[in-house]
Amino acid sequence: MFARVQPDGAHRPYQTIAFFQGCAINKKEMLVPGGMIQRTKYFCVHQDPLIPIPGFLVIASVRHIQSISEMHDLEFEEFSKLVLCHTWIDG
């Protein structure tokens, strides 16, 4: 298991694994259940390989960012459209 020491001295293995996993999926080095659902200029939409719950999707940034606040305007616009496109509301 990978572990990375954070600036506060804590070990957070899941975050490090998720980081490498996200990069591997983005580079098409790791397959995801059901394959890639959608790939755009800035994002890829796929099923979470660690939590394969039906309907639980991941919208992952192609560019490494840690927060929505780091998105450029065009990235945020595309992200918003993807959220709307892949949201299913029962009712």
Model confidence pLDDT, tens digit, residues 49-68: 888 888 888 999 998 888 89
More confident residue, 9 or 27: 27
Residue 37: per-residue pLDDT: 92
Q: What is the pLDDT of residue 49?
A: 82
Specify the pLDDT at position 1.
Answer: 35
pTM comes to 0.69
C-alpha distance from residue 67 to each of 41, 44, 71, 72, 91 (Å): 18, 16, 7, 11, 31
